[in-house]
Amino acid sequence: MELKKRSVFQVMLMMLALCTAPVSLAQTFITVASTTSTEQSGLFGHIRPIFEKKTGIQVRVVALGTGQALDMARRGDADVVFVHAKSAEVKFIAEGYGVKRLPVMYNDFVLIGPESDPAKIAGGRDILEALRKVKAASAPFVSRGDLSGTHMAELALWKQAGVDIAADKGPWYRDTGQGMGPALNTASSMNGYILADRGTWISFKNRGDFAILVEGDRRLFNQYGVILVNPEKHKHVKKEMGQAFIDWVVSPEGQKAIADYKIGGEQLFFPNAGQQGA
């Protein structure tokens, strides 16, 4: 009886040890706060291994909405920020949380909608005109409503189109508070229009009869910037490794890696580091 009890305990202890054996945590890693749309497009999955192989630095990407990513960096929980909301990024640096903003790449937004196209905007090249038509038709429109880069771009476009969306929105305007993927799902299920970044759209698999209806307007271009979190605000920030990542991503090699990323033969992101005013 005593022997049996002891061997049971021994087996249990062994299993516990196996379970709690720590994962080989690479001490050389940086934490990058980025956006859900960037992560879901698969870009990081493509460029991370190239950088890691070259420098041995593991890049850990935490994907959140832009607002959340910047907030995370303010708290000191990230080393580098990689988002697409220039005005928020500039404010971030002005507040002293970031060192310097470098433009990296851009992709564009597209207006997605159902084949039935109740607002009759298909094929248009003027995004502002398209938005006005959507409002006029009171066609269902899904907004991310989560203070993400996409959301802020959408709000800016409504403003440019002369629509006070906060005051004039009716039941046709759905503020979902969701990420890009879930919002696309929502739009798909309610036959509504939605502004999305091309990257997420290309890798989105639940399209139904939806397609890109409006694209190419310069106003739809979506600029990405990369910022090192200020080590003076947060002593523990891995500034050398973070800087190495930033330097690489704007270097010809990094820029080529970005341009090389394609889905279904289509390039998603267009490198433009060093471009004035970007």
Partner 1 sequence: MSEITQALGAAGAMIFGFDPKLIEIVLLSLRVSLTAVAIASVIGLPLGAAMAVNRFNGRRALIVVLNALMGLPPVVVGLVVYLLLSRAGPLGELGILFTPAAMVVAQTILILPIVAALSRQVIEDSWQEYQEQLRSLGAGPLTSAVTLLWDTRFSLVTIVLAGFGRAAAEVGAVIIVGGNIDGVTRVMTTAIALETSKGDLPLALGLGIILLSLVLALNAAAYWVKEAAQRRYG
Q: Is 77 in the site for partner 1 (CB under 8 A)?
A: yes
Angle (CA) 26 30 31, round 5°: 115
Distance CA 196, CA 217 (A): 14
Q: Which is nearer to partner 1, 115 or 168 (CB)?
A: 115
Q: Which is nearer to partner 1, 98 or 124 (CB)?
A: 98
Distance CA 257, CA 260 (A): 5
CB of 253 closer than 8 Å to CB of 38: no
Q: Is 28 in the site for partner 1 (CB under 8 A)?
A: no
Provide the token pair at 176: 């979902």
Q: What is the CB neighbour count within 10 angstroms for residue 251?
A: 12
Out of 35, 36, 107, 222, point to the residue binding partner 1 (CB under 8 A): 36
Q: Is 60 in the site for partner 1 (CB under 8 A)?
A: yes
| DSSP-assigned letter for residue 209 | T
Q: Is 231 in the site for partner 1 (CB under 8 A)?
A: no
Distance CA 11, CA 190 (A): 54
Q: Which is nearer to partner 1, 40 or 223 (CB)?
A: 40
Distance CA 240, CA 224 (A): 22
Out of 55, 176, 191, 203, point to the residue binding partner 1 (CB under 8 A): 203
Residue 130's H or E segment, with its range, is helix 127-136
Q: Which is nearer to partner 1, 44 or 141 (CB)?
A: 44
Q: Is 119 in the site for partner 1 (CB under 8 A)?
A: no
| Shortest distance, position 125 Cβ to partner 1, whole Å | 27
Q: State the greatest distance between any 2 C-alpha atoms of the chain, in Å, as a whole number.
A: 84
Angle (CA) 85 91 94, round 5°: 145
Q: What is the CB neighbour count within 10 angstroms for residue 45?
A: 12
Task: Choose one: 60-68, 120-128, 166-174, 253-261; the region binding partner 1 (CB under 8 A).
Answer: 60-68
Q: Is 25 in the site for partner 1 (CB under 8 A)?
A: yes
Q: Which is nearer to partner 1, 140 or 179 (CB)?
A: 179
Q: Which is nearer to partner 1, 44 or 269 (CB)?
A: 44
Query: Site map for partner 1, 160-199, x if CB under 8 A?
Result: ------------------xxxxx-xx--------------
Distance CA 86, CA 90 (A): 6
Q: Which is nearer to partner 1, 25 or 167 (CB)?
A: 25
Binding-site ranges for partner 1 (CB under 8 A): 16, 19-20, 22-23, 25, 31, 36, 40, 44-45, 60-63, 74-77, 178-182, 184-185, 200, 203-207, 234, 236
